[in-house]
Amino acid sequence: MNADLQKALQKFYGYDNFRTGQEEILESVLKNRHTLGVLPTGTGKSICYQLPAFMRSGQVIVVSPLLSLMEDQVKQLRARGFKRVAALNSFLDYEDKQQIMRKLQNYDLLYVSPEMLQNDYLINRLQSLHIQLFVVDEAHCISQWGQEFRTDYLRLAEVIRNLGNPPVLALTGTATPEVQVDIQHLLGDLDMDKHIYPMDRENISYFIREVQDQQEKNETMLALLRKIQAPTIIYFSSRNMAESTAAIIRANMPDMPCAYYHGGMENEDRILIQQQFLSGQLQIICCTSAFGMGVDKEDVRLIIHYHLPSDKESFIQEVGRAGRDGEESVSVVLYSPGDWQIPIHLIEQDLPEQDSIQQMLRFLYQRVKAGQLELPSYELLIQHIPISETQWRFLLYQMEKHDIVKGNHLHYKANAWKDFLDQIEKFVGNRKRHKLKQLQRMKEWVYTDSCRRQALFADFQSEVRPAKGRCCDNCGDTLADWQSVLTNVQPEHTGWREQLYHLLQQ
């Protein structure tokens, strides 16, 4: 083991050993090589760029689409005493943004959202720094074959060039070989050292319980929770269902502390719930996909999917939050035949309808005719055309690519606009078909008769390792003999006097 790296790991994190892949990726990064790292969720990707930021001079820039993850990491780093870190994203108000941008040299580690990199002033300021490493986190977002395509990511190649080609580290937890090729190509055909690690987890077993209706789903869920009695995350695709099911669990299992978590809650409440789960005050979290990123809890034993996500990558990531301590853990999908309507609906919502694209073009055309060449703001647009902000950003990027928008202005040429309409409709059609195909694969996995472990990971890696304990229901395993080890539930303090004493006097 590289002695310097290990010393740094001990010094900054207090760990004695690296987890799989971290050291190899770090060595490549420290040699200033362009690097692609595919590391399964939960192996601590962030160490791969945080350590260089601590160890070497020069700035590390991290592009991440996950704003809340950014905020979490900055908070955690600050809590550990590492103050030279900041996040630039849309959560900040204008003043704070300006203040950070003016003093970029004060930060060794800077998290940036992809849309912030469209800001010329920021690029300008970045050019004056010595950037030791440019990190593309969640790099699969650059590929339209990845689970979540971000048009903003397509501009990263240009950003990297503008910054004078610093060493690049692309990181992702999920990437099929197809997506890996895309990443390399779309970041500017970089010559990258590849470090690909298997995503399968030997200590997680997979079960599917088919039920007929919601009542049966709830009963099955409750029976499971009684059986396993350990830290559990239950995923839902709707906030309301997460809330109402949490109430059902509390009513039926008063001894198992349970709460819900979703993106619609106040920030302060979200912090509290997360921390309660980490500290063991809560055993069960009913949540949407908003929960989990940046929550590094080692002993989650059970992941229940009350609803399935719309692709296998998301599923693998969510399940990957179990058993980070290496102990045997379980994934259970509760599935009823009607469930597929929800993800189909979500896919439809994600991409603009043909109608809205046409409406938008008509609206823009009228502005051009009236001599208003300036690009309308989203706030103005939304008063006329029903599209989401994501859809608008997507269309904006496409219009720039087709030279309909240059800078902040519209350029009208009849042919170009007509071509654009044809192509964009085709493109949106392809995206929808792709997403439905992903959903279809998820569905096939549910219905498969063969080993679930093999079927889940075969797309991502050439060889799937055998399970350490139970494998899956199709391999004949059951949870009947599961021995629940009760985690130490914190002593309940009776009354406020004792509790206040405990907080401040013990």
Select the residue interacting with other proteins from 106, 127, 212, 499 (CB under 8 A).
499
Nearer to other proteins, 31 or 502 (CB): 502
User: Which of these ranges, 60-68, 71-79, 305-313, 373-381, lies near other proteins under the rule CB under 8 A?
Assistant: 71-79
Q: In the window 407-466, what residues touch other proteins (CB under 8 A)?
A: none
Q: Is 267 in the site for other proteins (CB under 8 A)?
A: yes
CB of 95 to other proteins, least distance (A): 11
Round to whole Å and give the CA distance between 217 and 304: 11
Indicate whether 496 belongs to the interface with other proteins (CB under 8 A).
Answer: yes
81 binds other proteins, rule: CB under 8 A: yes
CB 288 within 8 A of CB 236: yes
- Which two structure tokens, joined as six digits, stand for 33? 């090589």
Tokens of 427: 């493109």
User: Is residue 95 a contact point for other proteins (CB under 8 A)?
Assistant: no
101 touching other proteins, by CB under 8 A = no
Instruction: For other proteins, give the closer residue by CB, 254 or 476.
Output: 254
* Residue from 157, 222, 272, 475 binding other proteins (CB under 8 A): 272
**C-alpha span between 352 and 241 (Å, rounded):** 26
Of 83 and 465, CB closest to other proteins: 83
Q: Which of 122, 273, 381, 467 binds other proteins (CB under 8 A)?
A: 273
Cα 181 to Cα 427: distance, rounded to the nearest angstrom: 20
Task: Select the residue interacting with other proteins from 281, 289, 359, 474 (CB under 8 A).
Answer: 281
Site mask for other proteins (CB under 8 A), range 32-61, x = bound: ------------------------------
Q: Which of 79, 45, 67 is nearest to 278 (CA)?
A: 79
Determine contact, residues 50/78, Cβ cutoff 8 Å: no
Cβ distance to other proteins smaller for residue 106 or 349: 106
Binding-site member from 20, 98, 106, 275 for other proteins (CB under 8 A):
275
Q: Which amino acid is at 328?
A: E
Which amino acid makes up residue 405?
Answer: V
Map residue 234 onto helix, strand or coil.
strand
Residue closer to other proteins, measured from CB, 408 or 494: 494
495 is a site residue for other proteins (CB under 8 A): yes
For 362, the 3-state DSSP assignment is: helix
Which of 181, 271, 344, 380 contacts other proteins by CB under 8 A? 271
User: What type of residue is 105?
Assistant: Q
502 binding other proteins? (CB under 8 A): yes
Query: Which of 259, 303, 364, 455 touches other proteins by CB under 8 A?
Result: 259
Angle, alpha carbons 287-469-221 (nearest 5°): 30
- CA–CA distance from 328 to each of 323, 333, 336, 474 (Å)? 6, 17, 26, 18
Which residue, 281 or 474, has its beta carbon nearer to other proteins? Answer: 281
Under rule CB under 8 A, residue 75 binds other proteins: yes
How many residues at the interface with other proteins, by CB under 8 A? 29
- Closest contact distance (angstroms) between CB of 79 and other proteins is 5
Q: Which residues contact 469 (CB under 8 A, 6 or more apart)?
A: 203, 205, 328
3-class SS at 78? helix
Out of 276, 358, 359, 448, the only residue in the binding site for other proteins (CB under 8 A) is: 276
Residue (74 or 416) nearer to other proteins, CB: 74
Least spacing, CB of residue 177 vs other proteins, in Å:
38
- Where helices occur in 137-208 by DSSP H, the ranges are 156-162, 177-186
Report helix angle 47-55 to 3-13, nearest 10.
100
- Residue 240's alpha-carbon distances to 260, 319, 347, in angstroms, are 10, 22, 19
First to last CA, the chain: 42
Alpha carbons within 13 A on the beta-carbon side of 297: 29
Q: Is position 500 an interface residue for other proteins (rule: CB under 8 A)?
A: yes
Please report, as ranges, the residues that interact with other proteins according to CB under 8 A: 75-76, 79-81, 250, 259, 267-269, 271-276, 279, 281, 490, 495-497, 499-505
